[in-house]
Structure 1
Amino acid sequence: MTSNELYIAKGTAANAQYVVDIDPKRAGWTHSSLRIVELEPGGTHTFTAGDSEWIVVPLQGGCTVQTEGEEFQLLGRESVFAGVTDFAYVPRDARALIASGAGGRFALAGAKCERQLPARYGPAPEVPQEQRGSGNCLRHVRNFASADAFDCDKLIAVEVVTPGGNWSSYPPHKHDENRPGEEAELEEIYYFEVDGPNGFGYQRVSPSRVGGADVLAEVRSGDAVLVPDGWHGPSIAQPGHDMYYLNVMAGPGETREWRICFHPDHTEGYR
């Protein structure tokens, strides 16, 4: 894909059901997906999981999720900047109904998978959080579905909030090769929201191979960037405007793990 195809501006991946709909066909890869649905007060949305596992993540508002004979009440949050949220896991081959009395915006993070795991609820207080980096590289990470925090077959998903004026996804790193014990091959989606009506940020992806991904994009709320390969980072937040992104990852490896390789030219002092 070209650089222009890897940057997905708000509205350009929308359809009748979703304001964002990035599936493997749209992305030009095999594993990772992201959908975002907006519901009016009292609205509902039904979807079938197919050959993928999904996590329903409230971005704004709360909802109920019915699937596999279970009903999960998601309290949600006022916005992605308000803190962590609870979430619901929908297994492959399942059917799910999302209903929201007050309305809201909900992300569906997905990955093609093989095993059918049980439908489950993820409580917000159990989401591991960490402060990563220091100085102007400090950021806040919410590891709600990292490989060591929540059981999935293939899906890995986390949230990052970068304070205004700071850099994250730094040092630049990659995960586009299968090197056991050192690096895991993962496709990745970045979905962005920026605090404030005029906020923006920047996302860089540089090639790790000849003809590889090469992106420098100004990003605003509702935009996404695809990372099929390459060194990604930094993610840069405009001063005065905190920047949020949801990372959705999956790959072909038998073991579900997040193993990355840092760019050797930019590692000292930050790793």
Structure 2
Amino acid sequence: MNFITLTLFLVYQVHALSFPENFKFGFATASYQIEGGWNASGKGPNIWDWYTHTYPTRIADLTNGDIACDSYHKFATDVKLLKNIKADFYRFSISWARIFPNGQTNNINPDGVRYYNELINLLLANNIKPVVIIYHWDLPLGLHQLGGWPNIALADYFVDYADKVFSLFGDRVKTWITFNEPSQICELGYSNGALAPGYTQLGIGNYMCGRTLLIAHAKAYRLYEKKYKQLQKGLVGMTVHTVWFEPAAEISVIRIVSYFFS
């Protein structure tokens, strides 16, 4: 390896192990995965509560999210940990059924509002930006019993829900994600049955679900732009699932640099 090759290799290594000054360091969770408190203080059941309690053997280790990380009770400790590792932002999801137990906005749970207000306020007090997912896979059971995401009516239920969370938290939350990984919601929930609600309706359920989610996202986005954007000055988007591909033949950077400069 000649001098130029060695220099380029070292520059690459240093660059690969450092972050630019404006790099934002963040962490992400989902409500069902961490909150616990599955039936605490007025929270309604969601499809994961129903699924893990009704079909426990479909979970490889027979666990569920009844307690999980107990973030519902320990969120202050979570924020302290985030501050200790110098997080710039924290992406978390709202449990629809914790705020609206049956999924409908005419039945609000004050404790759910209290919980997310306290979490958001504590994050901001520690200079951590909240990034909020409105829906991350935990549909209220009442809406599932109406047919779930393949039912186009759920688009309007979702927009009503989004409208409420924008109004409740949008004065402090400036980055919103409508859906986390819509393809996973539809393919794994309504096509191959790998995730709750566990339906196997390939070519039907997944396409009906996809249509509902896209319409729901578009309506919620337009609602924010029209009703909240000017005042709250936030952003609304969607988290899209993708796949990382690697070449079949491994070619290292060292070999490439050596080829060109040896």
Q: Same fold (TM over 0.5)?
A: no
Q: Which one has the largest radius of gyration?
A: 2
Structure number having the greater helix percentage: 2
Structure number having the greater strand percentage: 1
